[in-house]
Amino acid sequence: MRLDKYLTECGLGSRSDVKKILKNREIKVNKKIEYTPKFNVSSDDEILYKGKLIEYKVTRYYIMNKPAGYITATEDKKHKTVMEILPDWVIKKKLFPVGRLDKDTEGLLLFTNDGPISHELLSPKKHVDKIYYVEAEKIITDESIKNLEKGVDIGGYTTKPSKCERIDIDKINLTISEGRFHQVKKMFHSIDNSVIYLKRIKFANLKLMDMKIGDVCEVNKEDII
């Protein structure tokens, strides 16, 4: 297969994008710089872009430690989106974020081009756990924790049972299996409290571990569920 076609199908960009990358001598094939579009390659060759291995894969999965100040969308005319902070080495072709984190919320966000796994993770029938680290405006009482764990009314809807792990008098790790709009914030309003800091630390089997704010890493499908 021609090198430019290979790189395009790997999602590195359009044909014109790929030609520019080759012209800038940013591709190495088997440890040698290659800049000829029609150069022949196969899946057995080691192909690097800016030092990062480019694998011929149909589906891709990345996780980000999302910073506050960005909306979870592929594009927006008014606000900065999470797509804008994905590094150059990420293969962005048909990539989208799975689910949504509020603009002021930090933490684990999954990106993929795999529609079926996105549907599975977001389906209410699957009860996929999400863990949030929550800092509250006021003390979180034992009674409040009992109510959160039992389920609270968030405006005509009672949340499913959750789990709370106390971190401090005003901090907990909250595990929920739903993903309703502003759910965690609404749950805290229902117990006469407010969220002042919110960070998702786990989604399905994915964990932030020691990722810094803005960090992105590639994961395998097997790591997710």
Confidence class for position 15, pLDDT limits 50, 70, 90: confident
* Per-residue model confidence (pLDDT) at position 146: 98
Measured between alpha carbons, how far is 143 from 194 in angstroms, rounded to an integer?
Answer: 16
61-123+206-224: CATH topology? Alpha-Beta Plaits (3.30.70)
Residue positions annotated with a catalytic role: 102
pLDDT tens for 58-115 read: 789 999 999 999 999 999 999 999 999 999 888 787 899 999 999 999 999 999 999 9
Question: Do the domains 3-53 and 130-203 sit in the same CATH topology, yes or no?
Answer: no
Q: Which residue has the tokens 């030092």?
A: 51
- The count of other CB atoms within 10 Å of the CB of residue 155 is 9
3-53: CATH topology? 3.10.290
pLDDT tens for 189-208 read: 999 999 999 999 999 999 99
pLDDT tens for 32-63 read: 999 999 999 987 899 999 999 988 877 899 99
Q: Say which residue, 138 or 7, is predicted with more confidence.
A: 138
Question: What are the domain boundaries of the chain?
Answer: 3-53, 61-123+206-224, 130-203
Q: Which CATH class is domain 130-203?
A: alpha beta
Residue 16's Cβ-count burial label (10 Å; 0-12, 13-18, 19+) is exposed
Q: Label residues 125-139 b or e (16+ Cβ within 10 Å = b).
A: eeebebbbbbebeee
Measured between alpha carbons, how far is 166 from 208 in angstroms, rounded to an integer?
Answer: 19
